Amino acid sequence: MSAKSTGVRWLMAVGSVTGFLGGWVLLAHAPKPVPEAVTPPADVGSAPTFLAPRGLQPFSRLPNGFTFPEPRLRTRGS
C-alpha cells in the first residue's frame, strides 16, 4: 500500500466521522415546530400576533359604523 493511498483513506475516514457528527449536531439543534402565527385583522387591538387555535382561522368583526339593520334575534351566553 502506498503512502499516498493510506493518506487518502485516512482523510476519507476523518471526513466520514466529521460529516456524521456534523449532521447529528444539525439535527439535534434543528428548529422545533412552533404554533402557527397569524397576522391579526386590521380591526383588532394592539396585540402583534395571535396564536391560532388548532384548525381555526380568524374572522373579522363588524366594522365600526356598521349600518345595515341590526338583527332583532341575537345569540349570547345564557
Partner 1 sequence: MDYDKFPSMNTEIVLAAEGPGAAQAFAEARGFIGECEARFTRFSTTSELMQLNRSAGEWFAASADLYDVVRQAFELTRATQGLFDPAIYDDMLALGYDRSFPDLPPRGGAPQPARSVRRSLLDVALDPETRGIRLPPGVRIDLGGVAKGWIAEQAARRMLGLVDACAVNAGGDLFLQGRPADGGPWRVGLEDPRGEGGLLTVLALDEGAVATSSRTRRTWLQGEVERHHLVDPRTGLPSSTDWLSVTAVAAHGAAAEAYAKALHLAGPEGASQLAETCAGLVFLVVDEAGQLWGPPQAREVVVDGMATV
Cβ-based neighbours of 70, under 8 Å, separated by 6 or more: none
- Minimum CB separation of residue 72 from partner 1 in Å reads 6
- 14: which 3 cell numbers? 476523518
Closest separation in Å from C-beta 49 to partner 1: 11
Q: Record the cell numbers describing residue 16, joined without a space.
A: 466520514
Q: How far is the CB of 34 from partner 1 (least distance, A)?
A: 15
Contacts with partner 1 by CB under 8 A lie at 39-41, 44-45, 47, 50-63, 66, 70-78
CB of 57 closer than 8 Å to CB of 69: no
Output 33 or 45, the one with its CB closest to partner 1: 45
